[in-house]
Homo-oligomer: A and B are copies of this chain.
């Protein structure tokens, strides 16, 4: 990684100065109706953090517009006053992407909660950004359709946040991330221009600004409408539960399933500490003596599922599985998944706090990563339970800690950073589906070189030259990376042979 000593003027992390809160509130009050603007500390408190609650800040004010015209007016007002704006959906994000700016306005899209149009023939839905992920599937259900991306938070999270973070889920291996299930977005730039990217057709001419805005963490435009694809609900699904007496072997089985040309609807891995933690209160029927288990789901017509499950069983048997069970009915299939879905609450039962990481590595290196995490547990003196979207190499290690014990939060963060650094070193990335936000901004310095980061700045400037949309998130300044490089050098020798030596 090239360490850049000199920063580009205007690209340092910025102080927006002592903004006159009264002036900002008065200007916003002129463009928003009664009840759509909050500025008293007790009203702001619910917005002080998102799902990454280790970071908190109170914004100057919270705007709750109900129309696109009001969004335009809020953004124009903030642009004129030079006030940062952080857009927010349901605030379920895990990387701090919706953390308010202490000198800025928090723009909640919660009141944009209508499904505007649902076309079962074209299999599309036009929705406002504050519509909950699951609400789209509920509305589409009478037509045998659903919205495929299924983040764990899908009961609560909203589509605007899904677009901002390019959210995935258990089934994204087969059905894709948000960007693959999105046709068009309508949004507003910081200058108040209404823009539409993408189209209802297969491909749109011009630069692919739809893909660019998707996953841009609210830094390029504020979304006011999205057209999503709907997917036919599979007729039938079955789940295979396989046990392994070795985590490396389980990782290899994952690579072999994919290598055999099978694309399961879901392919998840849990290590023994994770199965032990969930089995205790969910009773999913997991084999507690297994060092790791795999859950491999097949969906489609009954014929397709039968054929695919047969092939999955054959690969698993040839990969050293010590036990293979296929769900006998829908109740058992749901029980298998109930365990996996309870991993986060189970971590919460084991420990006062946990820290969920989100790296991605090549599938064939899953075993190696698990061994390295075991070593990190010893060195950092913290336990970690592992649940993986193994099919796409997406790790969700849950680091257990107690924030009330001095130093534990810092150790958990150092542990997490080491997992991310190793993900990059193993040829992977620092995020699978949770975004960078504030949480992983330092690791962006390891992930990308100066040329790529410069290009990120330039693209940001192409949308938001004043740098007012969600400043300080996702894209680190060159200065920050230079500081991070120095810090990591001072921290000494890398602990894994693949880790970079600065």
Contacts and interface: CB of A to CB of B under 8 A. Distances in A.
16 contacts: A172-B202, A177-B203, A193-B451, A195-B451, A202-B360, A202-B393, A203-B432, A205-B429, A205-B430, A206-B436, A206-B447, A207-B459, A209-B212, A209-B459, A211-B212, A303-B303
Interface string A339-376: 00000000000000000000011111000000000000
A216 interface: yes
Contacts of A211: 179, 208, 211-212
Given A208-B214, A429-B199, A461 B459 contact: no
B303 A203 contact: no
A502 interface: no
A214 B207 CA distance: 8
A372 to B, nearest CB: 17
Name, among A196, A258, A259, A454, the residue most crowded by chain B CB atoms within 10 Å (CB to CB).
Answer: A259
A500 to B, nearest CB: 16
A205 B431 contact: yes
A195 B258 contact: no
A381 interface: no
A350 B306 CA distance: 50
A180 B454 CA distance: 26
A490 interface: no
Interface string A180-212: 100000000100011111011111111111011
Interface in A449-471: 449, 451-452, 454-456, 458-463
A290 to B, nearest CB: 25
A82 interface: no
A316 interface: no
A113 B443 CA distance: 35
Given A206-B444, A455-B462, 10 more contacts: A121-B259, A166-B203, A177-B203, A196-B452, A201-B432, A203-B360, A205-B429, A207-B215, A211-B212, A458-B462
Contacts of A205: 429-431, 435-436, 440, 444, 447, 474
A233 B300 CA distance: 20
B195 A122 contact: no
A168 interface: yes
B261 A144 contact: yes
Residue among A215, A432, A449 having the largest count of chain B Cβ atoms under 10 Å = A215
Q: How large is the interface on A (under 10, 10 to 19, 20 to 34, 35 or more residues)?
A: 35 or more
Contacts of A195: 451-452, 455
A255 interface: yes
B304 A448 contact: no
A194 B451 contact: yes
A194 B214 CA distance: 24
A452 B360 contact: no
A427 B393 contact: no
CB-based closest 9 A-B pairs: A232-B261, A211-B211, A458-B462, A201-B360, A462-B462, A202-B392, A201-B429, A193-B451, A303-B307
A301 interface: yes
Contact of A393 (B144, B193, B201, B475): B201
A208 B220 CA distance: 12
Contacts of A214: 208
Contacts of A451: 189, 193-195
A428 interface: yes
A438 to B, nearest CB: 13
Interface of A: 120-123, 144, 166, 168, 172, 177, 179-180, 189, 193-197, 199-209, 211-212, 214-216, 220, 232, 255, 258-261, 300-301, 303-304, 306-307, 360-364, 392-394, 427-433, 435-436, 440, 444, 447-449, 451-452, 454-456, 458-463, 474-475
A306 B433 CA distance: 36
A427 B168 contact: no
Contacts of A447: 205-206
A232 B197 CA distance: 33
A200 B196 CA distance: 30
A220 B447 CA distance: 22
A207 B212 contact: yes
Nearest to A256: B121
A403 B92 CA distance: 61
A444 B207 CA distance: 12
Nearest to A193: B451
Contacts of A433: 203
